[in-house]
Structure 1
């Protein structure tokens, strides 16, 4: 048996990563890997994990934040197989809804119930072609499994050819594979994870967990374990309960609707005791009363909401939000990802979390409840001299100084544009802030502005423009361009972060800060600084995607040079008290 590294030799840092991963697996430990973008950490981690999995007869579950991020894992695994005497089977699994071949226009929140309904009523031929009524795999599905399927694309092709359910086919393929590539939700969403592990034969105690781009994990876990229901759905559920003859349930719903109507701004609402366990059966009966064919009643959404509400944690916040049109919604938000992540990772044989944005590591381990984890920080030799990070102390986005600063920031950006003749992106805290600076620029004709609600074609058009020299893009943090954009061939050589993009004040943010003040004594840092700096460093990383890329990063706010922010930045950051264009030129990053 022989698993080989997919390239002729390991680059600087890759051997260190692979050795650390092997050691963590040998000792059944958790490992956090902070490694620079472009140094090949995916290849190093995957190689070591697969090697150990084959030695110890384990599986590997490799999780990504988005299904589009799975392609690099598939490519790397194919390269490993091409140079190894022992071939490794692998499978890709994405969301059930995204793989569905059954034509439908069902709302995302109703899809799971829609899928169940059409299966139980024998209305889905794709599912019926995959399993018998006794849940045995049909010969056609067995033939598809033997056709060489692996990643999600090949599963979809086989499912179309054999007229099978793609999601079920991907689970069957995962059951017979050593490596399973899936989404965060397949391990960290309680409503998905249990069924997924059972259906794929994944025993966490015999599986190595790998989490890619794991700086996203805390926020993704909170999103997965937060839920909401709109006033419109409650009003429909009230009508359904009344028609079905459940006046007691209708009365409970009506009481909540009354409370909602009395609320005129974002505020907390207490509905924890609005329903009890015995109401779940009644809600299920209302759903069945109204469920016919493709019709999924609104009470189904309420039933799911109540089921989660009954197990809500004490520290979770429940509040009402109101949109611009006056539509009200009840939100239940989790505040602590450690409530979910620590138990999940404890269950696996070993866990490896990797990212290029993990500083300071101890904060991430605390946030995820894995303080017992080991850590490794690696920066490849290729990054030395290829990155210039500058803090510009001459400007700030501090609210009290903004009016006078718009012109100053525009002036500094104009100076940078005049001195550096290559593509650059400047990220702003908001569209409002971006437009104020743009209006004061003397070089408007050279600047492309990101637009709200951009179409895919318009985004592609702007990316194409960046492939030519001297293009300048003004964009927004958390917008279309701050993460997961296809920057290739080192086409962006300067990234500016204008200001500090704190999340706007909200009840949720205030509750999180209070919670972490009580838990750690550092509520402001956990609730505001850490999430903000993750966004900043991800946006800053748009310029260096591959080995050999060169990029200047300009942090345009004096507050970055304070201890609470500096700990997130590279050690070699430079400070300037005036326009940074001169130092960019001196260091050779103007060409």
Structure 2
């Protein structure tokens, strides 16, 4: 006899999904209340402890509701059950931390009360009670003042209400069961869509084995191996075998998402049934000129929650691929916010393609999947994983500027005495730190400032309730979020952080909680899934990335074999040039310009030249332009610092054109054209890399260096060498995109001959030649003659 299927949902998810209504409105403090809940977990426990012996905290409850063909299991934890010994009276307590003044709270928030009623019904049913009390306890985070609302319910009334709630969810659960059966059947017959390239089969097998063992895998995969499909295919197979329920394909750049979308479409052409969603940032997908999320500014925010569930259900039952265009069309039809609708759709799909921050960023992550209380059967595929080190540092660091408090003080002066006073307190503490700081200063603790920030947030909360000046409100709200982030990151402080102050070159004074090693913070999210695959064409040296991206000692690592014929690439190291600061000047800039000219003259085609900075680029380009002013057969284009999406596309389109001339693109290492772009065959036949890519010496890099030196971990390499060489490898990787590509890579800096640099060279670079300005053109011509 077949076992009856069980679909599980948490109490909170059920009530927040089915009972939401009305507008999206960022002016009311709903968003802040969510922050308050996060900040209030410690206070939660404090309240529970002081409630006395009749109070039973964190009581797990679940109930199964029979539905057509399955059981719906609703489960969760009640904050407290109060049972008085001498009476039959039982009360279910639900605690919520708030920042707003309790006098503004005249009744419980609807979804909060609904949560409590669910627990009350589950407990009363289980204990065979005829009636039960519900108590909503709101606690002010700063003052710890409590406000309670209590009401008694009959079991029969609660039962009718609860079964109606569960009934509204039944069609969603039924859809999910039927879809999963269809999906899993389609996966069973799925075969790899191409002939395996060299190393690709082993790569796919390594990914599958890692998922099977619920481990992490680091993949160094040279360009051309087909690493996207080698990661996606085994992950999809694993979902079909119930080794995971949802794939998160994470990328750092929009352009890489297209490659992931294409991989899933290819598998769908083979018969795969799979729902795939690509998440687009709110600012990009918003229909309005300005992203202001309230019903007065945006018609799509007005009544959004009244219509969105219908919009989502219709789309889910009609489509399997949810790209930006599909989402926008549906959002227009139902007049709902396309971004919020896309987040709702993420609940029901099999794969989500999105930016890192939707999983890892404490402010932007998808709380429905990655809150403290959830754990899912997720599979994480992290593309271009080398980017996650710096992105992780950014996400888990927080900054305060003294000047922002001064500005806020001026805004509220004479208008709000209490807030003015709180801002003054914070400003004085920062001023005291500023007086002790000549350049930068490493500190042991800033908990005294965090205390004042919590006091300040309370006053800002009150101010925002009363303020009608929209411009002023916006500026104070910015400070609120800055303070909130600082408090939240302060909670994460451990031995992987450095606290420091700095006087910036423009005179501003900064206090920073700097996450030097993000591995522990990243782990707190990755642990909520089953398995993680980190992959990149430049994950060298792999131990550097293992230390900064994972806390496990025994993670797997593979180096995929290159499918690219070595004879199709010429790798040259220029020994008579240097980008060291002591060597820079007219003579050296002239020499670099000559190198670029000789490469361009050796064969007609498209080239990219990568520089360590815009300043260096301009200095060399000036000399190059002087040499080619009367040479129409040599065309050059330059990357500028603030290119919009349209300008970037125009830049790349130049390389796609059929031309009779040679095109030289002047670009910056680590910039938008140095990774993620695909110019195969003769669209790009050469890359010139000027310099070793080392980051500029600055206070933060020196802090990094000292941090790792103290731990005997080669501080210079961690702070400068490895990040620099990653930029070099990424830039060089633009040339070789497919097995049939041919091209020249020229590394221009005598430092590349040093052992520390060559230790990081990929295996494929072991056949390099040295050159000088005198013989470079001959070597390049010989290479092309032999290839022709």
Task: Output the TM-score relative to the length of structure 2.
Answer: 0.67
Decide which of 242, 254, 258 is 1:71's aligned counterpart.
258
> Which residue does the alignment assign to 2:424?
251
2:590 corresponds, among 388, 404, 407, to 407
Q: 1:434 to 1:125 in 2, by over 3 A?
A: closer
Does the Cα contact within 8 Å between 1:240 and 1:299 map onto a contact in 2?
no
Residue 112 of structure 1 corresponds to none
* d(CA) in 2 for partners of 1:269, 1:549: 50
Quick check: which has more Rg, 1 or 2?
2
In the alignment, does 2:287 pair up with 1:287? no
Select 1:301's aligned residue among 481, 495, 504: 481
Determine the C-alpha separation between the residues in 1 that align with 2:335 and 2:543: 49
Determine the C-alpha separation between the residues in 1 that align with 2:720 and 2:512: 20
Say whether 1:359 aligns with 2:533.
Answer: no
- C-alpha contact 1:130 1:140 (8 A) present in aligned 2: no
Aligned equivalent of 1:193, options 330, 346, 365: 365
Distance of 1:538 and 1:105 partners within structure 2: 34
Equivalent residue number for residue 664 of structure 2: 472
| Structure 2: distance between partners of 1:406 and 1:367 | 37
Is residue 2:497 matched to residue 1:310? no
1:578: which partner in 2?
A: 772
Pair 1:198–1:537, CA change in 2 (3 A): closer
Q: 1:12 deviation in Å?
A: 2.2
- Aligned with residue 424 of structure 1, among 607, 610, 627: 607
What is the CA distance between 1:382 and its match in structure 2?
A: 3.2
Which residue of structure 1 lines up, in the alignment, with residue 746 of structure 2? 554
**8 A contact 1:386–1:551 mirrored in 2:** yes
Q: After superposing the two structures, state which structure 1 stretch, 281-290 or 30-39, moved more.
A: 281-290
Query: Cα distance, 1:498 vs. partner?
Result: 1.1
What is the deviation of 1:418?
A: 2.3
The answer as to 2:536 corresponding to 1:536 is: no
Q: Is the 8 A contact 1:60 1:208 kept in 2?
A: yes
Aligned length: 573
The offset of 1:94, in angstroms, is: 3.2
Cα offset, 1:558, TM superposition: 1.5
Per-residue displacement from partner, 1:234-255 (whole Å, max 9, x unpaired)? Answer: 2233346761514552332231
Distance (whole Å) between structure 1 residues aligned to residue 336 and residue 567 of structure 2: 53
Partner of 1:338: 519
1:25 and 2:211 matched: yes
Is 1:438 the equivalent of 2:621? yes
* 1:568 aligned onto 2:739: no
Tell me the distance in 2 between the aligned counterparts of 1:302 and 1:62.
Answer: 29
Q: Compared with structure 1, are the counterparts of its residues 554 and 24 closer, same or farther at alpha carbon in structure 2 (3 Å cutoff)? A: same
C-alpha contact 2:200 2:227 (8 A) present in aligned 1: yes
Partner of 1:110: none
Deviations 1:349-389 (A, max 9, x none): 11111111112222211222344211111133334333222
* 2:682 matched residue in structure 1: 490
Measured at CA, do residues 377 and 198 of structure 1 come closer, stay the same or move farther in structure 2, by a change above 3 Å?
Answer: closer
Over 3 Å counting, the alpha-carbon distance change for 1:265 and 1:449 in structure 2 is farther
Task: Say whether the 8 Å CA contact 1:145–1:169 is kept in structure 2.
Answer: no
**Deviation (angstroms), 1:264:** 9.5
C-alpha displacement of 1:52: 0.6
Question: Which structure ranks higher in relative contact order (CA pairs < 8 Å, sequence separation ≥ 6)?
Answer: 1
Measured in 2, the distance between the counterparts of 1:214 and 1:202 equals: 27
CA drift at 1:533: 0.8
Of the candidates 245, 249, 252, which is equivalent to residue 62 of structure 1?
249
Shifted more, 350-359 versus 294-303: the winner is: 294-303
Deviation larger for 46-55 or 376-385: 376-385
CA contact (8 A) 1:231 1:260 kept: no
Q: 1:95 to 1:284 in 2, by over 3 A?
A: farther
2:549 corresponds, among 359, 363, 368, to 368
Q: Partners of 2:697 and 2:362 in 1: how far apart?
A: 29
SS of corresponding position for 1:437: helix
Q: 1:425 to 1:508 in 2, by over 3 A?
A: same
Find out whether 1:588 has 2:784 as its counterpart: yes
1:39 counterpart (210, 213, 225): 225
Rate the CA distance shift 1:157–1:78 in 2: closer, same or farther, 3 A: same
SS in 1 for 2:662: coil
Partners in 2 of 1:37 and 1:73 — Cα distance? 15
Confirm or deny that 1:157 pairs with 2:329. yes
Q: CA, structure 1 residues 450+276, in 2 after alignment: closer, same or farther (shift >3 Å)?
A: closer
Does the C-alpha gap of structure 1 residues 344 and 459 become closer, same or farther in structure 2, counting only changes over 3 Å?
A: closer
Answer yes or no: is the 8 Å Cα contact 1:6–1:79 preserved in 2. no
Q: CA 1:545 to 1:319, structure 2 compared with 1: closer, same or farther past 3 Å?
A: farther
Among 553, 575, 585, the residue aligned to 1:393: 575
Judge conservation of contact 2:563–2:739 (CA < 8 Å) in 1: no
- C-alpha contact 1:428 1:499 (8 A) present in aligned 2: yes
Q: Quick check: 1:348 aligned with 2:513?
A: no
Change (3 A) 1:459 1:168: closer
Equivalent residue of 1:190, what SS? coil
Task: Tell me, in whole angstroms, the C-alpha distance in 1 between the residues paired with 2:439 and 2:452.
Answer: 31
| 2:178 is equivalent to residue 4 of structure 1 | no
Structure 2 stretches lacking a partner, 5+ long: 1-184
Please, which moves more after superposition, 429-438 or 50-59?
A: 429-438
8 Å Cα contact 1:424/1:493 also seen in 2: yes
Q: Given the superposition, is the C-alpha separation of residues 383 and 497 from structure 1 closer, same or farther in structure 2, using an over 3 Å criterion?
A: same
Is 1:448 paired with 2:615?
no
Provide the rounded CA distance (Å) in 2 between the counterparts of 1:419 and 1:123.
59
Whether the 8 Å CA contact 1:90–1:150 is kept in 2: the answer is yes
- SS at 2:710 equivalent: helix
Unaligned runs of 5+ in 1: 107-114
Match of 1:177 in 2: 349
How many angstroms does 1:526 deviate by?
0.8
Q: Distance in 2 between matches of 1:157 and 1:266?
A: 53
* Alpha-carbon contact 1:129-1:140 (below 8 Å) kept: no
Provide the C-alpha distance between the structure 1 equivalents of 2:514 and 2:391, rounded to a whole number of angstroms: 12
- Tell me if structure 1 keeps the 8 A contact 2:224–2:563: no
